[in-house]
Amino acid sequence: MGVLELQNLNKSYGRIRALKDMSFTVGSGELFGFVGSNGAGKTTTMRIVLGVLAADSGSVTYDGKPLDLDLRRRVGYMPEERGLYPKMKVGDQLRFLARLHGLSAADAASATDRWTERLGVASRRGDDVESLSLGNQQRVQLAAALVHEPEVLVLDEPFSGLDPVAVDVMSDVLKERAAAGVPVIFSSHQLDLVERLCHRVGIVSAGSMVAIGTIDELRTVDQPVWRIVVGADNVDLAPVASAVPGAVAESVEAGAGKSAVQVMLPDEQPGAEQALLSAAAGIGPVVEFGAVRPQLADLFRDVVSDGGASEDDRAKKREEEKQAAGSRSRGGLFGRRKGAER
């Protein structure tokens, strides 16, 4: 399997710039999460990959070659809006789509049986698509994307409308395809699911890729934050910050019979966490001590909130935040992520 690469894609609709130099790669065997608010440019990007839309400029390549019609036949696509014929039977439809992708009649029938079994809709092969629940229609839509054994998977909101069991089935299938070497890109608003499944994540805002990396890379902050909890009620832990020059403390909820504080360090300082722990132990029995890192949902809100800012504006904002060492937009002591901007 090869590498899917999008380089400097631009797309405008009149005066509206839908994509601005959109660039990223999805490697062989990689699960890539493509997230952003509604209207950010995710679906436009996917449609350009499929050739449904043409970019104003930029390129899409697979394995170093332009993604032409022949290569696009080897891509499995699942649109956000269901692209199935509602009055056609499930089995007939999947066999028909497989034949369109070049499979023989026997191979199309075999693939239809295999994927409907795998996705739990084998008993519905003889039913019209419109008679299925929304969740089962979503399973059939995924089967349609997989029935020709694609070399690349591009899935727009594949988990929408699925119950927890179906989410597990869908997740397992995507992991299996990635393990087989298939580059998989999917969009989703279920950020906990993206965080759990994906090797890398790209966050899109206003048509631009504003943050990209592994979950660990995106959650790494310039200013480390440590949470300290002692087993005593109504204890002022703010003085522990004085153990590290430039540290800032913020009291937080800890539950009955406990007191807690979060301490932001000005930067990575060898031994700083031990100094904090020692200072806290001098105040009361420490029952919890650990680094605090933002979740993907927090990163999403952070990045999207200033996604339209210029690089100069972002640099200025980072410097102001570092000097002030103030709270982030949701009240937590999270610093700017390292390497978040492209």
- Write the pLDDT tens digit of every residue in 283-339: 999 999 988 887 888 888 877 776 545 444 544 554 554 444 444 433 455 444 454
pLDDT of residue 334: 47
The single residue listed with the structure tokens 């206003």 is 206
With a pLDDT cut of 70, the percent of the chain lying above it is 89
Closest CA to 82 of 67, 96, 93, 69: 93
* Residues near 259 by beta carbon (within 8 Å), at least 6 away in sequence: 229, 230, 232, 233, 234, 235, 236, 237, 251, 284
- For residue 279, CA distances in Å to 82, 238, 282 come to 58, 10, 5
Strand order in the sheet with 259-264: 248-252, 259-264, 225-230, 286-292
Most distant CA pair in the chain: distance in Å?
A: 76
Q: Give the whole-angstrom CA distance, residue 2 versus residue 98.
A: 22
Query: How open is the CA angle 199-203-209, to the nearest 5 degrees?
Result: 110
pLDDT of residue 194: 93
pLDDT of residue 311: 43
Axis-axis angle for helices 105-118, 90-100 (nearest 10): 130
Phi, psi (degrees; rounded to nearest 5) at 107: -65, -35
Q: How many CB atoms within 10 Å of residue 212?
A: 21
Mean pLDDT for 118-130 is 95
Residue 93 has pLDDT above 70, yes or no: yes
What type of residue is 207? G
Mean pLDDT for 69-90 is 89
Strands 200-205 and 208-213: antiparallel
Closest CA to 292 of 217, 225, 198: 225
Q: Give the whole-angstrom CA distance, residue 87 versus residue 131.
A: 9
Mind spelling out the 3-state secondary structure of 212-227? EECHHHHHCECCCEEE
Could you report the per-residue pLDDT of 39-76, keeping only the tens digit for each? Answer: 899 999 999 999 999 999 999 999 999 988 888 889 99
pTM for the model = 0.76
Q: Give the whole-angstrom CA distance, residue 212 versus residue 337.
A: 11
Mind spelling out the 3-state secondary structure of the chain? CCCEEEEEEEEEECCEEEEEEEEEEECCCCEEEEEECCCCCHHHHHHHHHCCCCCCEEEEEECCEECCHHHHCCEEEECCCCCCCCCCEHHHHHHHHHHHCCCCHHHHHHHHHHHHHHCCCHHHCCCEHHHCCHHHHHHHHHHHHHCCCCCEEEEECCCCCCCHHHHHHHHHHHHHHHHCCCCEEEECCCHHHHHHHCCEEEEEECCEEEEEECHHHHHCECCCEEEEEECCCCCCCHHHHHHCCCCEEEEECCCCCCEEEEEECCCCCCCHHHHHHHHHHCCCCEEEEEEECCCHHHHHHHHHHCCCCCHHHHHHHHHHHHHHCCCCCCCCCCCCECCCCC
Lowest pLDDT segment from 119-123, 175-179, 296-300:
296-300
Could you report the per-residue pLDDT of 26-47, keeping only the tens digit for each? Answer: 999 999 999 998 889 999 999 9
Strands 75-78 and 248-252: unpaired
